[in-house]
Structure 1
Amino acid sequence: MNDRWIEVADRVWVRRVERLDQSLGLVVGDDCCLVIDTGITAEAGFAYATAIRELTDLPWQVAYTHDHFDHWFGTAAFGESAVWAVGDGAHYVAFGDEQRKAWASKFRLDGREEDARRIGGTRLVPPNCRVQGAIGLNLGGRTVVLRQVGLAHSDNDMVVEVPDAGVLFAGDILEHGAPPSYSSAYPIEWPQAVEFLLSWKPKVVVPGHGEPGDYWWARAQARDLAEVARLCTEVAQGFLTEDEAAAHGPFGPDSMREAIARWKALTPPAPEPAPRPDPALTPPPPVVVYEVFDYQVDLTR
């Protein structure tokens, strides 16, 4: 698959990127446009920015759906602009630097020196506009909604709603063609967040990776996410073994095991029961002696 544009609604495009099967977004208003995620490296970002300029010459703003490197490492190509995200800038810089070093090391170990050079040389651009709750962003004749998701695929997911076009850019809270990643997810809360986000029944739902789908495709994946949460709960209750849950998980055994491992990491250990006292070492209860006073009160005085 070569990189290509899909126009999913009037002046709403999805950039399908061959690398990592990504779906990036572009929403165009009368005065400016919103770029949704920017790709995996500065070079990928420059290619994306060039492709956008084939569609519009309007000034842009940028929105990060979450803090995983493949969604925001390309932002240096977009110059000075407003960059919207749920997580703050300090978090993005610290976590981004960790990811940059880790992926550069991984690429070198795999013999992919050019990929290591590209990601290692990428300049990180943290967000400078923070989203808490929901924000309506006026692009000129069109308002998009940047909405904080809560705990789902990560702890800082954000979706972009385009109400007049019936389009929801869902980031990685939904995946099309591959199982969702639970490595930094919240398996129990995730399906509840998706159900809420789908409550306005968007006609088109754009995942962070894979082809755009419709509302009913998204509802089906929400049910699968709920099934993962249910299986995690039944493992916790001792009703199922981890092997049984992995064998019947809707996204395959590897994804189910990853979800169970993440759920365990998020669950505090049960407190140790208090030791029972040794009767032989327990002193007898104290004896309480009550003194009884015999007295009369003369009420005639």
Structure 2
Amino acid sequence: MSDRWIEVAPRVWVRRLEELDQSVGLVIGDECCLVIDTGISAESGFALATAVREKTDLPWQVAYTHDHFDHWFGTSAFGESAIWAVGDGAHYVSVGDEQRKAWAARYRREGREEDARRIGATKLVPPNCRVSGAIGLDLGGRTVVLRQVGLAHSDNDMVVEVPDAGVLFAGDLLENGAPPSYDGAFPYEWPQAVEYLLSWKPAIVVPGHGDPADYWWARAQARDLAEIARLCGEVAQGFLSEEEALAHNPFGEAVMRTALDRCKALAPAAPEPQAPAAAPTPPPPAVVYEVFDYSVDLTQR
């Protein structure tokens, strides 16, 4: 598969990238356009920016669906622009530097020296416009909604809604053709977040990886996410064994194991055992006196 555009609604495009089977977005208004995620490196970002210019010469803004490297390492190719995200700039720089080093090392271990060079040389461009809750972004004749998700695939997920076209860009909350990734995820909260985001019934849902699909496909994956959450809860409560959950889940053993491990990592630490309390000191014995009669002569000195 080579990189290609798919028009999912009037002036709403999905760029299908061969690398990592990724889907990035382009929403065009009358005065501005919004680029949704930018790819894994400066070189892939340059290719994306060139492709965007084939569709429009309007000024662009950029939105990051979350802080995983493959969604924002290509932004240096877009020059000066507004960049929207849930996480702040300092957070993006910190986690981006860690991811850049880790993936460069991984590529070298795999003998992919050119890929290691590309990602190692990539300039990190953090967001400069922070999204809290939801904001409407006016592109001129068209308003898109940037919506903070809460805990789900990560702790800083954001989706992009195009209400007039019935399109939802879901980032990695949903994936088509591959199972969802639970590394760093929040298994119990994730399905609830997706159900809420689907409540307006978008006609087209664009996953972070894989082909665009419809509302009913997204609902089916939301149910599978809920099943993972249910299995994790039953294992945590002792109703199921880990082996049973690994054998009976919608995404396979490896994904289920990652979800179980993530739930263990998120579980509150057990309180440290306390030393047994000292036995209480018994009260002193009562002294019993016999009752006797007496009189006192107050006239005597």
Please state which band the TM-score falls in when normalised by the shorter chain: over 0.9
What SS does the aligned partner of 1:199 have?
Answer: helix
Q: CA deviation at 1:283?
A: 4.5
Taking structure 2 as the reference length, the TM-score comes to 0.93
Aligned residue among 279, 287, 294 for 1:282? 279
1:123 counterpart = 2:123: yes
- The within-5 A match list for 1:96-175 is 96-175=96-175
Which amino acid in 1 is paired with 2:248? H
- Distance (Å, rounded) in 2 between the aligned partners of 1:212 and 1:283: 70
- Distance (Å, rounded) in 1 between the aligned partners of 2:285 and 2:133: 61
- Distance (Å, rounded) in 2 between the aligned partners of 1:234 and 1:83: 41
- Distance (Å, rounded) in 2 between the aligned partners of 1:183 and 1:57: 38
- Distance (Å, rounded) in 2 between the aligned partners of 1:231 and 1:27: 38
- Distance (Å, rounded) in 2 between the aligned partners of 1:42 and 1:286: 79
Equivalent residue for 1:292? none
What SS does the aligned partner of 1:52 have?
Answer: helix
Q: CA deviation at 1:285?
A: 2.8
- Distance (Å, rounded) in 2 between the aligned partners of 1:242 and 1:232: 9
Equivalent residue for 1:21? 21
Q: Cα deviation per residue 1:31-57 (whole Å; 9 max; x = unaligned)?
A: 000000000000000000000111100
Which amino acid in 1 is paired with 2:217? W
- Distance (Å, rounded) in 1 between the aligned partners of 2:285 and 2:183: 61
Equivalent residue for 1:297? none
Equivalent residue for 1:69? 69
- Distance (Å, rounded) in 2 between the aligned partners of 1:142 and 1:7: 17
- Distance (Å, rounded) in 2 between the aligned partners of 1:86 and 1:3: 28
Q: CA deviation at 1:275?
A: 4.8
Taking structure 1 as the reference length, the TM-score comes to 0.93
Q: CA deviation at 1:268?
A: 1.6
Q: CA deviation at 1:109?
A: 1.2
1:4 counterpart = 2:4: yes
Equivalent residue for 2:221? 221
- Distance (Å, rounded) in 1 between the aligned partners of 2:49 and 2:285: 85
Q: Cα deviation per residue 1:131-173 (whole Å; 9 max; x = unaligned)?
A: 0000000000000000000000000000000000000000000
- Distance (Å, rounded) in 2 between the aligned partners of 1:127 and 1:283: 62
Which amino acid in 1 is paired with 2:3? D
Equivalent residue for 2:290? none
Larger radius of gyration, structure 1 or 2?
2
What SS does the aligned partner of 1:92 have?
Answer: helix
Q: CA deviation at 1:272?
A: 4.2
Q: CA deviation at 1:288?
A: 9.0
Q: CA deviation at 1:270?
A: 2.3
Aligned residues: 287
Equivalent residue for 1:295? none
Q: CA deviation at 1:110?
A: 1.1
Q: CA deviation at 1:269?
A: 2.5
- Distance (Å, rounded) in 1 between the aligned partners of 2:285 and 2:96: 68
- Distance (Å, rounded) in 1 between the aligned partners of 2:284 and 2:229: 55
- The within-5 A match list for 1:213-292 is 213-277=213-277, 282-287=279-284
Equivalent residue for 1:60? 60
Q: CA deviation at 1:287?
A: 4.5
Q: Which runs of 5+ in 1 are unaligned?
A: 290-301
Is the deviation greater in 208-217 or in 262-271? 262-271
- Distance (Å, rounded) in 2 between the aligned partners of 1:38 and 1:32: 17
Q: CA deviation at 1:276?
A: 4.2
**Equivalent pairs: percent with the same residue?**
79
Q: CA deviation at 1:215?
A: 0.4
1:86 counterpart = 2:83: no
Equivalent residue for 1:198? 198
Equivalent residue for 2:295? none
Q: Cα deviation per residue 1:96-150 (whole Å; 9 max; x = unaligned)?
A: 0000011111111111100000000000000000000000000000000000000
Equivalent residue for 1:48? 48
Equivalent residue for 1:293? none
What SS does the aligned partner of 1:5 have?
Answer: strand
- Distance (Å, rounded) in 2 between the aligned partners of 1:143 and 1:288: 84
What SS does the aligned partner of 2:200 have?
Answer: coil
- Distance (Å, rounded) in 2 between the aligned partners of 1:164 and 1:99: 36
Q: CA deviation at 1:73?
A: 0.1
- Distance (Å, rounded) in 2 between the aligned partners of 1:286 and 1:201: 72
Q: Cα deviation per residue 1:62-118 (whole Å; 9 max; x = unaligned)?
A: 000000000000000000000000000000001100000111111111111000000
Q: Aligned pair in 2 of structure 1 residues 81, 282: CA closer, same or farther (>3 Å)? A: same
- Distance (Å, rounded) in 2 between the aligned partners of 1:24 and 1:165: 17
Equivalent residue for 1:298? none
Equivalent residue for 2:289? none
